Structure 1
Amino acid sequence: MPKSLKVIFAGTPDFAASSLAAVLNSHHQVVAVYTQPDRKSGRGKKVTMSPVKELALQHHIPVEQPLNFKSEESLSQLASYQADIMVVVAYGLLLPQKVLDIPKLGCINVHGSLLPRWRGAAPIQRAIQAGDKETGITIMQMEAGLDTGPMLITASTPISDRDTGATLHDRLADMGAQLLVQALDEIADNKLQATPQDDQLATYAHKLSKEEAQINWQLSAEELERTIRAFNSWPVAYSQLENKTVRLWQAYIVHKKVDAAPGTILQADADGILISCGEDCLLLTELQLPGSRAMSAKDLLNAPKNQQLFAPDNQFVSL
C-alpha cells in the first residue's frame, strides 16, 4: 500500500465535496479543509455553509475560511498544518505562489476538462455548448497561472447528445474523485511525471451568467439545443413570451425549413412546442413558467390559458 499523505483540501461546491469524500475514504489523512466563507443564498438569503464545509464538520476536520491569503497570519496558519500536499478542487480563489510553495509536495488541482482545453471557471458547460464529443478530468500540478500547470494524470469520457450540464457535472465529479485518490497514491510512491500543457491549444471557459442564458432565436437550432443542455441545471436557458419568462429545460432539433421569423411558435401539442430558429427548428419538450415547476409540454398544455399562450404564430422575443 502507498504511504499515507497528510492532505490539506481546498474546495467549495458539490463537485469538490465528491473529491473530499473520496480522500476521506482513502488511507490518506485530511488535516484541514479550506473553503469559501459562508454566504447568503436562496430566496430567504439565509447564511449557508458550502457542501465541503458541511462534510468536513461531519468528520471533525478543522475548517479555515480566509477571504484571501494576503496576510502573514493566513500563510502561517496554512503552514502550521505541515501538510505533504494541498488538493484544490473548485475552491474559488486563485492561489498565490507563496501558498503553492508551502506544502512539501506542492498543490495539485482536479479540473473538469482535458487540459489545455477549457481552462477556467465553467469547463463542463462550455464543452457541451461548443459541441465537444469528449471531455474528462485532468489532475495537474498547480502554478501561479490559471489552470496552466503541468498535467499529472487524465481520464476521458464521451459527451452524449443528451448530456446536460447536470449529468456531465455529476459524472465528472465521480471521475475526478476516483482519479484524485489514484493520483495521491502514485504521488506518494513517486510514480507520476508531469507533462507540460501546450499553451497554443488552450481555450478559456468563461464564467456562466444568467444574462447569456437568454435565447437568441436567430441562431441555429443545433446551437440553441446545445446551449439548453449546457445550462441545465444552471443558469437555465430562457426566453420571453408575452412578457413572461419561460425557462427551457429540454429540447430537440427538428431539421425543417420554414419561412416564419425566428422565435415563432409553429405548433404546440403533446409532442412539444415547435419553434422556428435561424436554421431548422427546435422542439421544446420541458419548460417552466413563472411561479411553477418545470414540466413536460404535454402537461403544460393541459391548461387552457397555456394553450393560448403557446398558440401557433405567437412569438418568443428574438434578440
Structure 2
Amino acid sequence: MRIVMFGYQTWGHRTLQALLASVHEVTLVVTHPASDHPYERIWGDSVADLAAAHGVDVLIRDRPDDEELLDALKRAEPDVIVATNWRTWIPPRIFELPRLGTLNVHDSLLPAYGGFSPLIWALINGEPEVGVTAHMMDGELDAGDIVLQRAVAVGPRDTTTDLFHKTLELFGPITVDALALIASGRTDWTPQDRSRASFFHKRSDEDSRIDWTWSAEELDRLVRAQSDPYPNAFTYHKGQRLRIVAASVSEGRYGGTPGRIFIREGDAVVIVAGAEARRGTGHGLAIERVRTDDGTELAALDYFRTMGGYLTGRPQ
C-alpha cells in the first residue's frame, strides 16, 4: 500500500524505520519542527532526517491544516495515513482523505490514558501494565476503533525510562501488523468503551512538584515516573530546589508531619509522608540520591548531614 506518515520524535522515527523496511511504499512524511518543550527534547530522533536519507519527501508542520499540505497529500495518493506521536489535531479533511483511513499508533492501552505522557501517568497511578494501541482515527482524539493492542507488564521497580524502551519495541511491529489487517480488507475493528476512557494533559514543571501529603507508595511511583532523562520530581530544602533522583518506600513506619526530614534507614534518609502521617501507621519516603539545582548529584546521606527540618513544596 501507499503510506503517508505523520510522525515525531523517537516513536515516529522507529515507526518510519519499520514502514521503510516493510512491503509498503512511503510516499510522504509530515513531521513537527524541533521543540524547546523539555519533554519533547528527550527522545528526539529526527523523523525528517530519516525520511530524507531514504529519498522520501518531507513537510514540516506544527498543524496540518493548510492548503499546501492538503495538495501534497492528494499528490501522494495514500491508501493509509499512519500517525505516530503526532502532537496536534488532524482535521477530518486530512484523516478521511486516504481510501482506507488513518491509523493512529498511541502508547497506551486505550481507552485509558489518551492524550499526553501516558506512560508517566500510568506509572504514577500504579497500573499493572502499559502498552500500545493501533486504532483508526476519527473526529475525537485517541477515540477510534481499535485494530490491534499489545501490552507489557510494569515491573515492581520499573521507571518510565524502562517502560519507554519496552513499549518502543512494539511500535514498528504493531504498525506493520495493523496495516496487514487493513490491507486484507478487514473492517471489523473493536469500538472503544468510552465509559472507561481517560484523557491526560501535557506534563509541565508543576506536575513534578512533590506533595508530601501523598503516601510514600505514591511518591515512590512519582520519583520512578520522573526518572532520568525526564525532569525529576522535586521539592525544596532551605529555599533551594532539590531533585529526587532515587527513592523507595521505607521499611519502617514513621509518624509526624509530612515533609519532615526524620531518620536514617540504611543508605537512605526517610521523609515523613502521607495525609495521615500524624497517626504513625504509614511508611515514609526513603530518599537514596538527590540532585541540587546546579546539577550536582549526591547520596542522600552526604546531602542530609543532620536530621530535622522540612522539605516543602515551595521555597521558604
Could you say what the CA RMSD is over the residues aligned between the two structures, in angstroms? 2.2
**Structure-1 residue corresponding to 2:224:** 229
Alpha carbons of structure 1 residues 118 and 216: separation in structure 2 relative to 1, 3 Å:
same
Determine whether 1:8 maps to 2:9.
no
How far is 1:68 from its partner?
Answer: 2.4
Alpha carbons of structure 1 residues 244 and 293: separation in structure 2 relative to 1, 3 Å:
same
Assess if the C-alpha contact under 8 Å between 2:247 and 2:289 holds in 1: yes
Assess if the C-alpha contact under 8 Å between 2:209 and 2:313 holds in 1: no
**Structure-1 residue corresponding to 2:138:** 143
Determine whether 1:260 maps to 2:263.
no
Q: Deviations over 1:150-190 (max 9, x none)?
A: 00011111111211111111211111221111111222222
Match of 1:211 among 201, 206, 212: 206
Alpha carbons of structure 1 residues 185 and 283: separation in structure 2 relative to 1, 3 Å:
same
Task: Within 5 Å, give how 1:1-319 maps onto structure 2.
Answer: 5-40=1-36, 51-191=46-186, 193-233=188-228, 234-268=230-264, 271-278=267-274, 279-297=282-300, 301=302, 306-308=303-305, 311-318=306-313
How far is 1:67 from its partner?
Answer: 3.3
Q: Deviations over 1:208-245 (max 9, x none)?
A: 11112110111110111111111223232001011221
Alpha carbons of structure 1 residues 67 and 207: separation in structure 2 relative to 1, 3 Å:
closer
How far is 1:291 from its partner?
Answer: 1.7
The worse-fitting range, judged by mean Cα deviation, of 238-247 and 69-78 is 69-78
Measured in 1, the distance between the counterparts of 2:175 and 2:227 equals 26
Tell me the secondary structure at the aligned position of residue 139 of structure 1. strand
Measured in 2, the distance between the counterparts of 1:38 and 1:235 equals 19
- Give the alignment's TM-score, normalised by structure 2: 0.88
How far is 1:144 from its partner?
Answer: 1.3
Tell me the secondary structure at the aligned position of residue 161 of structure 2. helix
Measured in 2, the distance between the counterparts of 1:268 and 1:33 equals 55
Q: Tell me the amino acid that sits aligned with residue 88 of structure 2.
A: L
How far is 1:117 from its partner?
Answer: 0.9
Alpha carbons of structure 1 residues 149 and 161: separation in structure 2 relative to 1, 3 Å:
same
How far is 1:69 from its partner?
Answer: 3.2
Gaps of 5+ in 2: 275-281
Assess if the C-alpha contact under 8 Å between 1:9 and 1:32 holds in 2: yes
How far is 1:192 from its partner?
Answer: 5.8
Assess if the C-alpha contact under 8 Å between 2:27 and 2:76 holds in 1: yes
Measured in 2, the distance between the counterparts of 1:86 and 1:162 equals 37
How far is 1:296 from its partner?
Answer: 4.3
Q: Tell me the amino acid that sits aligned with residue 38 of structure 1.
A: A
Assess if the C-alpha contact under 8 Å between 1:270 and 1:297 holds in 2: no
Aligned residues: 302
How far is 1:256 from its partner?
Answer: 3.1
Q: Tell me the amino acid that sits aligned with residue 287 of structure 2.
A: L
Measured in 1, the distance between the counterparts of 2:49 and 2:37 equals 15
